Amino acid sequence: MPIEVQLQHIKKTFGHFQASNDVNFAVEKGRLIGLLGPSGSGKTTILRMIAGLEQPDSGDILIGGRRVNDVPAGKRGIGFVFQNYALFRHMTVRENIAFGLKVQKAPAAQIRARVDKLIELVGLKEFGGRYPMQLSGGQRQRVAFARALAPEPELLLLDEPFAAIDAKVRKELRGWLRRTIHQLGVTSIFVTHDQDEAVEVADDIVILERGHVEQMGTPVEIYQQPRTPFVANFIGEAMHIPDYTIFKGFENGTTEGAHEGILRPEFLEIGANDHEMRLPLASEDGIVRGVYFRGSNAEIDVEVKGQLLKGTRSLEKTPLHEGDQAKVFIHRIYSFAGGRTQILENRAKQVDSVVI
Ligand SMILES: Nc1ncnc2c1ncn2[C@@H]1O[C@H](COP(=O)(O)OP(=O)(O)O)[C@@H](O)[C@H]1O
Ligand SMILES: [Mg+2]
């Protein structure tokens, strides 16, 4: 697939604050990209520079192979949906959607046809004559989406489009957005600080931290191979382990020496006793410190060698209670020694597989 958007060595400061610090990434045509990072990591700044609403101090922005640094916002072929880029209150749904085409002085019949198509696409056919005030938050954002798409942009930018919408509707809108964007095939970049949203919606995720890209990849790649401790901590649930060589099966560490690690709940197996463990000799003794019902399973806080770990346990098994003894087998640990991620598997499993 050809590259649709490319950011090359983008730097941007506001006063002394470095909002973009050598940002580089490329987006293939038709992909849906999630720009994910904590608040203040520079997500909106990047979107605004792509849109032409802000100028980088240095670096190039290419859209469709063309350098657009000096192209004004209105001529970049971009549609945007911003959280607070409100609809025009005094215009109906149809008029809102038609707005961009009217500005372009498109013929009336063409505008009508395009609005018909888009209002159908966003599922608001019955609401064409309503005003924004008469719509729910989710409906308004769908109108904003249709309005952004009306002039057939090459690129669609969305900045936290669902942030102001309540949780249940937000979840529906995510699925809807993903399906609709793929159906249209329009290259899109959406910003979010919510990892669940990014993982659920995006084809590829760009993780930003303090104005630079920590990692770019598919949700699965980022989840399974976090390149940095920041990414491992930010995506999924992560427990920081100052020295993992205290645990059975990981005593040797790595040749690089540093023994800090990160554990995820799904790397742990928690049993009530030896009989429940596949490898009892390689399991640690623990004490249950907390049990939380999570619908499909129980989340268990368990203390092992003075470290509080978090794991899960099936509700089908004997329930554990606070204060109970437990057995804990640690399947794997992420190590970041030597500046790269290594997935360390418990040695007992390797030995076991050799014996079998
Ligand atoms: N127009 C501006 N003027 C001054 N500082 C700004 C401006 N825009 C952004 N910033 C600074 O850059 C930081 C990062 O901003 P932003 O890109 O909005 O982050 P994010 O969208 O990830 O929360 C902000 O916390 C703010 O301090
Ligand atoms: Mg923002």
Q: Ligand 1 test: best mutation among 10, 11, 16, 17, most atoms within 8 Å of CB?
A: 17
pLDDT number for residue 356: 45
Residue 253 has pLDDT above 90, yes or no: no
**Which of 8-12, 70-74, 237-241, 276-280 tops mean pLDDT?**
8-12
Once rounded to an integer, what is the mean pLDDT over residues 153-180? 90
Mean of pLDDT values over 164-174 = 87
Sketch out the chain's domains with CATH numbers. 3-226 (3.40.50.300), 239-355 (2.40.50.140)
Task: Point out the ligand 1 atom lying closest to the alpha carbon of residue 193.
Answer: 22
Handedness of CA 220, 221, 223, 225 (dihedral sign): positive
Q: Is the pLDDT confidence value at 181 over 70? A: yes
The stretches of the chain forming alpha helices (DSSP H) are 43-51, 93-103, 108-121, 137-149, 167-184, 195-201, 219-224, 229-234, 347-355
Q: Mean pLDDT lowest for which of 129-133, 182-186, 251-255, 296-300?
A: 251-255
Task: Name the nearest CA neighbour of 230 among 22, 37, 7, 18.
Answer: 37
- The residue whose CA has the least distance to atom 3 of ligand 1 is 14
Residue that has been written with the tokens 């920041």 in this structure: 230
The tally of CA atoms less than 13 A away on the side-chain side of residue 27 is 29
Percent above pLDDT 70 for the chain: 98
Q: Kindly tell me if the per-residue pLDDT of 70 is higher than 60.
A: yes
Quote the ligand 1 centre to 100 CA distance (angstroms). 28
Residue 263, SS3 per DSSP: strand
Question: Looking at ligand 1, which residue's alpha carbon is closest to its atom 16?
Answer: 42
CA of 218 relative to ligand 2 center, distance in Å = 22
pLDDT at 34: 97
Structure tokens at 90: 């005094």
Q: Whose CA is nearest to atom 18 of ligand 1?
A: 44
Residue with tokens 């099936």: 314
C-beta 85 within 6 A of ligand 1: no
- For the Cβ of 16 lying below 6 angstroms from any atom of ligand 1, the answer is no
- Residues 115-154 have pLDDT tens digits of 999 999 999 999 999 999 999 989 999 999 999 999 999 9
pLDDT surpasses 60 at 315: yes
> Which has the higher per-residue pLDDT, 353 or 168?
168
Q: For the chain, give the mean pLDDT.
A: 93
CB of 20 closer than 6 A to ligand 1?
A: no
Of the CA atoms within 13 Å of residue 95, those in its CB half-sphere come to 10
40 CA distance to ligand 1 middle (Å): 6
Give the per-residue pLDDT at 165: 85
pLDDT confidence tier of residue 336, bands split at 50, 70 and 90: confident
